[in-house]
Amino acid sequence: MTDEQRMQIGEVAERTGLSLRTIRHYEEVGLVVPSARTKGGFRLYTASDVDRLMVIRRMKPLDFSLEEMRDLLSITDRLASDQPPPGPERERLRERLDTYRKVAEARCETLRAQLMAAEDFAATLRRRLGARD
């Protein structure tokens, strides 16, 4: 891969909506590793690295821990590997991935319920303000 196909951290931050500090933190905790560094030591990322950061970004509002993020990324890395695991291990990984899917869906449902309650509250306030005019 050529350097033109790699991005510095600023461009990655722009593409992902994550701060430089957050990207560096995810590197420190082992969730993402820059694909390379320039001679000057600047981090270089690929489109795959950006995709990985987007997975992390999407897990964060669903309150997944760093350990869970690391585990899920490990599962997806192993399943997408050039040398996929043999049948029984692949099936176990797929089951674990499905567990994460179910947890994510349940947490989304909880967030939807919270949003509905918040919207109902805001509508109540609007009605009360309207009643005074």
Range with lowest mean pLDDT among 40-44, 106-110, 125-129: 40-44
Q: pLDDT at position 3, please?
A: 44
Per the prediction, the chain carries an average pLDDT of 93
Cα–Cα distance, 58 to 4 (Å, whole number): 27
What's the pTM? 0.82
Question: What is the per-residue pLDDT for 1?
Answer: 46
CB burial readout 100-125, b (16+ within 10 A) else e: beeeeeeeeeeeeeeeeeeeeeeeee
The whole-angstrom separation of Cα 129 and Cα 126 is 5
Return the percentage of the chain with pLDDT > 70, whole number.
95
- 36 by DSSP, 3-state: which? strand
Q: Which residues pair with 37 in a beta bridge?
A: 43
Look at residue 133 and tell me whether its pLDDT is greater than 90. Answer: no
